[in-house]
Amino acid sequence: AIPEPQREAWKKHSVSGFSDKDGFEKELVRHVETTLARSMYNCDENAAYAASSLAFRDRLILDWNRTQQRQTYRDNKRVYYLSLEFLMGRALDNAMLNIGQKDLAKAGLSELGYRIEDIIDQEHDAALGNGGLGRLAACFLDSLASLNYPAWGYGLRYRYGIFKQQIVNGYQVEVPDYWLHFNPWEFPRHDISIDIGFHGQVHKKTDENGKTVTSWEPGQMVKAVAYDVPIPGYDTPTTNNLRLWSSEAASEEFDFQRFNRGEYESAVAEQQTAETISAVLYPNDNLDRGKELRLKQQYFWVAASLYDIVRRFKKSRRPWREFPDQVAIQLNDTHPTLAVVELQRVLIDLEGLEWDDAWNIVVETFGYTNHTVLPEALEKWSVGLFQHLLPRHLQIIYDINLFFLQKVERMFPDDRDMLRRISIIEEASPKMVRMAYLAIVGSHKVNGVAELHSDLIKTTIFKDFVAIFGPDKFTNVTNGITPRRWLHQANAKLSDLIATKCEGNGFLNDLTMLSKLEKFAEDKEFRKEWAEIKFANKVRLAKYIKETMGISVNPSALFDVQVKRIHEYKRQQMNIFGVIHRYLTLKAMAPEKRKKQQPRVSIFGGKAAPGYWMAKQIIHLINSVGSVVNNDADIGDLLKVVFIADYNVSKAEMIIPASDLSEHISTAGTEASGTSNMKFVLNGGLIIGTCDGANIEITRETGENNIFLFGNLAEDVEDLRHAHTYGQHSLDPDLVKVFDEINKGTFGSPEDFGGLVASVREHGDYYLVSDDFHSYIETHALVDEAYKNQEEWVSKCVLSVARMGFFSSDRCINEYAESIWNVEPLVVKDDAKA
């Protein structure tokens, strides 16, 4: 720190940041003319975006510095959210809104010759995630900062985020997303770098007190370098930190000898191998592929993060037993589970604690969130891979397992099979480490992400663990979304209209205030304004569709949207089969009758994992159906089918506010929560959905009359599958007609869609498409009917929004804070706000 006598000089020059339009303009021009070395003669929209972002970043970093100083000074317990994915989307708009300076920026930009919308549009999405799991982490960061919790996110700084999706001849083509060309939102911290080890050998020796000391001598070192991203809270000076690690070669020395010998490739080989670790985000959602590089990423990231956390704790010179009073670490899915093992290693091998003392600290520190019951998504790593990559960690896992099995054996002495079932090591060939089991054993709380899901994990995949640890270890925290991004930012006009009836913008901090809208559900004037906003949002989307795809859609038609990762369990195939059914029905109608039908636009969007063949077939079928239906003169505006390429956060911000109806139609019991369902309802759209994930709680809150539910229940799924296996599977006759049409070649070569049809017809229909098809089609007919009465439809939408208070990620974070982390917000005094 600077000595006292010199502090006055510092204070005199301390930066305070702009607070009015002129100040913003001055900063913008300064960045254009100095940082970017441009002038008013060559400042295009991209440069204006860059300069605006730098101006706001400077402003954020002042709050960030103060927040970090405050948190260090008060030294309260902090939360560390470990997530391999943070799907942040764009930062500029969010920063302007959260610090309450968007109007000022709009006026300033306009004075300098730009439209704020065009400037915002220049930003490349930060797409460090696949789907719901990564976006949830981003919403959580927003809430943690907005609620003033001392909290850090830790993740990886992938050089390539999720791939960009192009649609070529109806097929998905993946293109790399190199998003780091220009990223003003990160601060490289080359002074914060940590060497992380891999491979090597484990040594045991006895020290002078006769105690066995184990040490690990890694065979490879890689350097983790910190990049910090400021996370501004809404309407508060709290600006938290997201620390992303980037991998570099541990030794900075270039291999000159090799270079001089002309061995250019090998001279840079070490650097390249090291950089590979943080190079790519694995593009799998709800799927584990067991690749060595992925395990390397996981260890690299958790080891660096823990080193950082432990270093911060040690500065306070508290005794180790106080670690869980100062530190709460949340494992977002099993991806960071190695942190459990790493902390145990640090405590016993490096800090010399006894096993039991260390283990108590570990378990008290960690909480684990499970996001799926799908077997293909539950991570397992082969013992051989562990032995090769992290030999000391494997030993510790074996010890953790041994003590755990001994405990279980004492509890259930006569149940040998129980030991086999719950062992962290699966006795298969090859032997596997079950990461979810390790996460449960190493955490004090395990939570699911919606009520049904949390019940299901307790009664199915983790049933034995409930018997061992008792039900209190397992809890539910239903997911939530940040209303700042998903209403205020995405749908500014609706947000403003709501503010006129909810006594201002307070609902953005306390979403339950939306209940004040209830009484306006029957107010004709209010409904009219509401409907006009929805229409304007649809016009905006229609314009985008026309400009990017050349397809004209009528904004007065019902916009029916399903945007999410493409997955068989999410059943986009059922949706497109339903669209084909609608098409055939329309075609078979007499023209007079046809004209009276409700016009629809079926909108799809979402990425398929590059290796997921069936998901890619679904995309191809959607596009093939689109090219037939959209060009059929008999059909005209009655039905259009659109696949919006490269669905991402910023597209979601445009699509969701334009939806009349959204589809959340997973096979019951498969979608842990779903969070886009909440975004759609909050934006004044209704849902067609199954009794799955958070749909159930949305129904409970908004009312059964305001949602279109259909399909079999989770409790019946197993029996139905069983029946399919034993040949009692008669296909729905309407679905048969759809398959016949596909097989006739109406939508292109039938072989292209053979896998999709066969999965239902011949391979057991695991996702119950046929079982649910009839009620799905019937429910869509009810939607058509309901949509005809626009007054009533809008009133349902208003009522639904009024009842969405529960689904804020603020509620969710407060629940985590109270029931899992035991942390308190750090109240910011008014003088600090100034």
Chain residues that interact with ligand RUG, rule: CB under 6 A: 131-133, 136, 285-286, 333, 371-372, 377, 449, 479, 671-675, 693
For residues 148 and 676, which CB has a smaller minimum distance to ligand RUG in the complex?
676
| Minimum gap (Å) between residue 284 Cβ and ligand RUG | 8
- Strands 558-563 and 600-605 turn out to be parallel
The residue among 138 and 341 lying less far from ligand RUG, judged by its C-beta, is 138
Q: Is 675 a catalytic residue?
A: yes
Cis geometry, peptide bond prior to residue 430 (ω within 30 degrees of 0): yes
Q: Establish whether 564 is a catalytic residue.
A: yes
Phi, psi of 283, rounded to the nearest 5 degrees: -85, 35
Q: Which residues of 343-363 are buried (b: 16+ CB within 10 A; e: fewer)?
A: bbbbbbbeeebeeeebbbbbb
Specify the residue, 186 or 285, whose C-beta has the smaller distance to ligand RUG: 285
Instruction: Specify the amino acid at residue 341.
Output: V
Choose between 521 and 717: whose C-beta lies nearer to ligand RUG: 717
CA distance 491 to 426: 49
Q: Which residues contact 184 (CB under 8 A, 6 or more apart)?
A: 50, 53, 54, 57
Give residue 349's Cα distance to chain centre: 35
**b vs e for 458-489, b when ≥16 Cβ sit within 10 Å of the residue's Cβ?**
beebbebbbebbeeebbbbbbbbbbbbbbbbb
CB nearer ligand RUG, residue 279 or residue 374:
374
679 belongs to the catalytic site? yes
SS3 per-residue string spanning 671-727:
CCCCCHHHHHHHCCCEEEECCCCCHHHHHHHHCHHHCEECCCCHHHHHHHHHHHHCC
Q: Which backbone phi and psi does 145 adopt, to 5 degrees?
A: -70, -40
The smaller minimum CB distance to ligand RUG, of residues 287 and 832, is found at 287
From the list 567, 679, 796, 803, the catalytic residue is 679
CB neighbour list of residue 792: distance below 8 Å, 6 or more residues apart: 786
Please report, as a single letter, which amino acid is at residue 132: G
Which residue's CB is nearer to ligand RUG, number 101 or number 332? 332
Query: Positive or negative, the Cα torsion across 389, 390, 392, 394?
Result: negative
Question: What is the rounded radius of gyration, in angstroms, for the C-alpha atoms of the chain?
Answer: 28
**Minimum gap (Å) between residue 519 Cβ and ligand RUG:** 32
Of the residues 67, 337, 372, 675, only one is catalytic, namely 675
**Of 561 and 783, CB closest to ligand RUG:** 561
CB of 151 to ligand RUG, least distance (A): 18
Is residue 587 within 8 Å of residue 741, measured between CB atoms?
Answer: no
Answer yes or no: 595 catalytic: no
Residue 204 bears catalytic tag: no
Separation of alpha carbons 350 and 679, rounded Å: 46
Which residue among 371, 392, 434, 620 is the active-site one?
A: 371
Helices (H), 17-75: 21-30, 45-74
* DSSP codes, 401-463: HHHHHHHHHHHSTT-HHHHHHH-SEE-SSS-EEEHHHHHHHT-SEEEESSHHHHHHHHHTTTH
Active site residue 315: no
Closest to ligand RUG by CB, 99 or 615: 615
C-alpha triplet 654, 614, 381: angle, nearest 5°: 95
Residue 609: CB minimum distance to ligand RUG, A = 11
Instruction: Name the residue among 782, 646, 767 with its Cα closest to residue 707.
Output: 782
Name the residue number minimizing CB distance to ligand RUG.
132
Q: Which is catalytic among the residues 78, 564, 571, 664?
A: 564
Paired tokens of 115: 């439209």
In sequence order, which residues have a C-beta less than 8 Å from that of residue 571 and are 6 or more positions away? 665, 666, 667, 767, 769
Annotated catalytic residues are 371, 564-565, 570, 675, 679
